[in-house]
C-alpha cells in the first residue's frame, strides 16, 4: 500500500474510479474520495451488475446472482492503478476483482473467467502470449439513432468518400485526435504499437505489443474508453460496433497468440529443429473445433454477425493458412522463435477478457486433445462454405451443447451469459426496423 500512497501523492490524486468490467466490457463501479480508497474499506456492488444487459435490463431469472440481489466485494488489483488523463480533477482508476464475502471468486466475473483459463495453462507449465489488434471507426456525431452514421470531417474540411486503406494522409486528417490518444495511452501505460488506416471510411486500427493475457485484456478494456473520450473532445464519436455502416467493412479484434514454456521462455509452437510442433497444430485444431460454439463471445450481438460476410474482409469459416488473410486462422510470416497464430474471427465489440479466455480455451483443448487441423489453405477462403453460425441464436445453441466449453469456462458463467444474451435478443426482436417499414409497410 506504500507504493500506492506514493503514486497518489506523486500524481496529486483526489479521487479514485473503482471499476469492474461487466459482461459487455462496460466499466461499472464507483467514484470514491482518495482517503476512503486508502482506508482499506472494501467496495461493494450488487452481483446483478454482472448480468446487466447492454440496454440496461436484467434477465428475469435472478438465480444466477441470487434472488435476494446480494452484494459482492470488489477487491482492487493495485497493479492496474493508472491516472485518468482526461479528468478535470486529478483522478486515478483501478480495476477490481470480484469475490464473495467468504473470499471465493464470483464465477460470472469476466476477469475471473480469463484467470480460470490462465490457471489451466499454468498447471501445464505454459504461459500464453497475446497481441490484440483493434479496429474502430471515427464517425460524425449522431444524436438520432435512426439516421445512418457518416465519416467525420477532418482537417481538409471534407469527410472521406472512398476507401483509403493504409493511407498516411487519411490518418493525418485526424492528427490532433491521435496525438491525444497516444498521449493518453502513454500516461496510462497502455502499450500500443502501430496505427494504420483500415479499409473502411475513417476506419482505423491500433495494434498492441505482445504480452501477458490478463494485462492485455486490462489494456484493451481501458483503451476503448480512452479512444471514446478522446474522440468526444474532438467533436466526433469513436465506435467499436462490429458493423456500424451498411456499405463498409466491419471492425475486428484480431488476436495474435503463442505459448511459451514458463521455465525456459521457449515458444512451444517451435521444436528444436525450428519446425512446427504438435502443440502448434493442436492449438489450431482446437480453434477450428470449438470456435463455432464460442461465437456468442467472439460475436456477442445481433450486429456482430453482419460483419462476418463473404468478401468483406472478415472470415466465414475455420480454415487456416500461412499468411492468408481470407481464413479464420492466419499464420503470419515470422521467425521460428516468433511463430504464432492469428485468430481473425472476434469482432471488436467483444469483451476482451472473455474473447481472450475463449480463444485460449479453444487452443488449450486442442493441444491437450492433440487435434489435427488438416492441411493449410493456399487458396481463397471466401470461396468456401460458411462454417460459422450466421446469427446469435444459432451460436447460443452450439455453445449450450458444447460440454468441454462449459467445463473450461464454468457452467455457472455460461448459464448467466445465456440468460443475458437471450434477454438482449428479446429486446432487439421487439424493435421494428426502418427496413421493415420501407419494404413491407405498403407492399405486402
Under the banding of pLDDT at 50, 70 and 90, the label for residue 22 is very high
Instruction: State yes or no: pLDDT of 158 exceeds 90.
Output: no
Q: Topology of 1-105+410-444 in CATH?
A: Ubiquitin-like (UB roll) (3.10.20)
Q: Which of the residue ranges 20-24, 37-41, 101-105 would you say has the lowest mean pLDDT?
A: 37-41
The residue extents of the domains of the chain are 1-105+410-444, 117-402
Instruction: State yes or no: pLDDT of 68 exceeds 90.
Output: no
Quick one: pLDDT at residue 62? 80
Helix axes 213-232, 175-187, angle to 10 degrees: 140
Instruction: State yes or no: pLDDT of 221 exceeds 90.
Output: yes
Instruction: State yes or no: pLDDT of 164 exceeds 90.
Output: no
Quick one: pLDDT at residue 328? 97
Tell me which residue of 37, 27, 33, 20 sits closest to 89, measured CA to CA: 33
Quickly tell me which residue has 521457449 as its cell. 266
Under the banding of pLDDT at 50, 70 and 90, the label for residue 69 is confident
Instruction: State yes or no: pLDDT of 162 exceeds 80.
Output: no
Distance of CA 428 to the CA centre of its chain: 22
Domain 117-402 has CATH 3.30.1360.120: no
Give the C-alpha separation, 142 to 77, whole Å: 36
Considering the chain, what percentage of its residues have pLDDT values greater than 90? 88
Instruction: State yes or no: pLDDT of 4 exceeds 90.
Output: no
Tell me which residue of 269, 252, 257, 356 sits closest to 306, measured CA to CA: 252
Helix/strand/coil percentages in the chain, nearest 5:
40, 20, 40
Q: What is the mean pLDDT of residues 420-434?
A: 93
| Spatial contact of 297 and 384, defined as CB atoms under 8 Å apart | no
Considering the chain, what percentage of its residues have pLDDT values greater than 70? 100
In sequence order, what DSSP letters do the residues of 44-110 get, joined into one string? EEEGGGGG--TTS---S-GGGT-TT--EEEEEE-GGG-EE-TT-SS-EEEEEEEEE-TTS-B-TT-H
CA-based radius of gyration for the chain: 22
Residue 376, helix vs strand vs coil? coil
Quick one: pLDDT at residue 102? 96
Instruction: State yes or no: pLDDT of 167 exceeds 90.
Output: no
Instruction: State yes or no: pLDDT of 403 exceeds 90.
Output: yes
Q: Do domains 1-105+410-444 and 117-402 have the same CATH topology?
A: no
Question: What's the pTM?
Answer: 0.96
Q: What is the mean pLDDT of residues 224-242?
A: 97
Quick one: pLDDT at residue 225? 97
pLDDT of 234-266, one tens digit each?
999 999 999 999 889 999 999 999 999 999 999
Amino acid at each position: 500500500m506504500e507504493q500506492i500512497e506514493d503514486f497518489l501523492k506523486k500524481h496529486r490524486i483526489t479521487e479514485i474510479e473503482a471499476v469492474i468490467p461487466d459482461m459487455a466490457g462496460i466499466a461499472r463501479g464507483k467514484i470514491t474520495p482518495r482517503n476512503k480508497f486508502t482506508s482499506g474499506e472494501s467496495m461493494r456492488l450488487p452481483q446483478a451488475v454482472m448480468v446487466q444487459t447492454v440496454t440496461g435490463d436484467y434477465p428475469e431469472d435472478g438465480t444466477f446472482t441470487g434472488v435476494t440481489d446480494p452484494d459482492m466485494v470488489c477487491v482492487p488489483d493495485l497493479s492496474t492503478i493508472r491516472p485518468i488523463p482526461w479528468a478535470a480533477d486529478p483522478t486515478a482508476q483501478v480495476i477490481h476483482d470480484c469475490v464473495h464475502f467468504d473470499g471465493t471468486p464470483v464465477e460470472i466475473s469476466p476477469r475471473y473467467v480469463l484467470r480460470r483459463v490462465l490457471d489451466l495453462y499454468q498447471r501445464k507449465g505454459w504461459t500464453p502470449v497475446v497481441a490484440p489488434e483493434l479496429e474502430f471507426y471515427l464517425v460524425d456525431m449522431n444524436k438520432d439513432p435512426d439516421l445512418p452514421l457518416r465519416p467525420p470531417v477532418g482537417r481538409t474540411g471534407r469527410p472521406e468518400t472512398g476507401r483509403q486503406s493504409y493511407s498516411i494522409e487519411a490518418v493525418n486528417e485526424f492528427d490532433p485526435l491521435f496525438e491525444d490518444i497516444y498521449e493518453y495511452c502513454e500516461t496510462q501505460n497502455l502499450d500500443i504499437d502501430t496505427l494504420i488506416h483500415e479499409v473502411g471510411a475513417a476506419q482505423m486500427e491500433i495494434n498492441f505489443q505482445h504480452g501477458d493475457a490478463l494485462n492485455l485484456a486490462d489494456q484493451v478494456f481501458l483503451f476503448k474508453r480512452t479512444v471514446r473520450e478522446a474522440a468526444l473532445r474532438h467533436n466526433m464519436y469513436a465506435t467499436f460496433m462490429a458493423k456500424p455502416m451498411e456499405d463498409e467493412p466491419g471492425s475486428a479484434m484480431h488476436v495474435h497468440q503463442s505459448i511459451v514454456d514458463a521455465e525456459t521462455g521457449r515458444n512451444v509452437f517451435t521444436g528444436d529443429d525450428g519446425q512446427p510442433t504438435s502443440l502448434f497444430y493442436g492449438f489450431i485444431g482446437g480453434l477450428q473445433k470449438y470456435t463455432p460454439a464460442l461465437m456468442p463471445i467472439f460475436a456477442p450481438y445481433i450486429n456482430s454477425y453482419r460483419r462476418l460476410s463473404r468478401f468483406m474482409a472478415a472470415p466465414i469459416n475455420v480454415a487456416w493458412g500461412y499468411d492468408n488473410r481470407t481464413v479464420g486462422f492466419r499464420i503470419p510470416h515470422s521467425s521460428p522463435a516468433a511463430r504464432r497464430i492469428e485468430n481473425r474471427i472476434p469482432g471488436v465489440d467483444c469483451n476482451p477478457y472473455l474473447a481472450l479466455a475463449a480463444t485460449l480455451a479453444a487452443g488449450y483443448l486442442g493441444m491437450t486433445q492433440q487435434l489435427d487441423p488438416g492441411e493449410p489453405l493456399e487458396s481463397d477462403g471466401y470461396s468456401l462454405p460458411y462454417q460459422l453460425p450466421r446469427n446469435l441464436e444459432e451460436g447460443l445453441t452450439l455453445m449450450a451443447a458444447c460440454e468441454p466449453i462449459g467445463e473450461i469456462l464454468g457452467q455457472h458463467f455460461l448459464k448467466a451469459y445465456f440468460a443475458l444474451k437471450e434477454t438482449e435478443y428479446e429486446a432487439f426482436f421487439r424493435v421494428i426496423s426502418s427496413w421493415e417499414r420501407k419494404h413491407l409497410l405498403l407492399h405486402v
